[in-house]
Amino acid sequence: MNPYEKLLIQNKAWSADQKLADANFFGRLEKQQSPKFLWIGCSDSRVPANQITGTDPGEIFVHRNIANMVVHTDVNLLSVLEYAVVVLKVEHIIVCGHYGCGGIDAALGNKSYGIINKWLLNIKEVYKTYQNEIDAIEVHEDKVNKLVELNVIEQCQDLIKTSTIQKAWKSRNAPTIHGWAYGLKDGLVKELVNIEPDLSSINPIFRFDAEELDK
Ligand code: CO
C-alpha cells in the first residue's frame, strides 16, 4: 500500500472507531464548534495541538506557521485571532514553541532560503532584541533553545498589542495568554508565561485609548 492510500484507509478506520466509542460524536460536532482554546503553534509535524494535549476535535481552534509567529501584517493570523476571540470567545490563547525548532535555528544562521528569508526576518528581530543574552551562550543548540523560549514570550507580547485582544480584555476580561515550549525529547510542555487580562500592564505606547476599545 502506498503511503497516500494508507491515509484514506486509516481515515475510514478512525471514523468507525469514533462512532463506536461515541455514537453521537460526529452529530454533536457537525452542529457547532465551541472550543475554549486558540492554539498558535509551529507548523512542525511533530507538534500536533490535539495529540500533545490529549484533546479531541472541537476543543482547540488552531493556527500554525513556521516558528509560531504573531506577525501584525499576517492577514491569516489576524483573521484566525479575530474569529477565535470575537466569535468563538475563547478563554485561553496558547502560543506553543518547541525546542529544536528548525525555523528558529535557520533564523540564527546566515543561509538564504528564498522567500522564507522574509519570514525569518521576524525571528531575527527577536534575536536582535536579546542579542547579548543569546550570544553569551556557547553551545549552538542551547542558543536555539533560548531563542525558542524568548520568541514565545515575545509573540505573547505581540498578541497584546492587537486591538482584538485589548477589546476583549476590556469587554469580557479574557482571554488569558499562555506561552509554552514543547520538548521533542520527552513530549512535555514547559510553561514560560501566563498573562492575565490587565490593560494597565500593557506598555502605554502599545495601549489603545479606553474609548477606542468600545468601538
Ligand atoms: Co518549529
b/e code 78-103 from CB counts within 10 Å (16+ = b): bebbeebbeebebebbbbbbbbbbeb
Q: What percent of the chain has pLDDT over 90?
A: 97
Catalytic residue at 44? yes
Phi, psi of 27 (to 5 degrees): -60, -40
Q: Report the chain's mean pLDDT, rounded to a whole number.
A: 97
- Catalytic residue of the set 28, 46, 72, 140: 46
> Residue 207 has what DSSP assignment?
P
pLDDT of residue 33: 85
Residues bordering ligand 1, an ion, CB closer than 5 Å? 42, 44, 101, 103
Catalytic residue at 156? no
Quick one: pLDDT band at residue 190, thresholds 50, 70, 90? very high
Integer Rg of the chain from CA: 19
Q: At what angle do helices 163-172 and 75-82 cross, to 10 degrees?
A: 10
CA of 43 to the centre of ligand 1 (A): 6
**The three-state (H, E, C) secondary structure of 64-106, written as one string:** EECCCCCCCCCHHHHHHHHHHHHHCCCCEEEEEEECCCHHHHH
CA of 19 to the centre of ligand 1 (A): 34
Residue 209 has which C-alpha cell?
Answer: 485609548
CA of 65 to the centre of ligand 1 (A): 8
Catalytic residue at 101? yes
Which one-letter amino acid corresponds to residue 196?
A: E
CA of 70 to the centre of ligand 1 (A): 14
Phi, psi of 182 (to 5 degrees): -100, 135
Catalytic residue at 46? yes
Separation CA 69–CA 155 (nearest Å): 6
pLDDT digits over 22-68, tens only?
Answer: 999 999 999 888 999 999 999 999 999 999 999 999 999 999 999 99
pLDDT of residue 214: 92
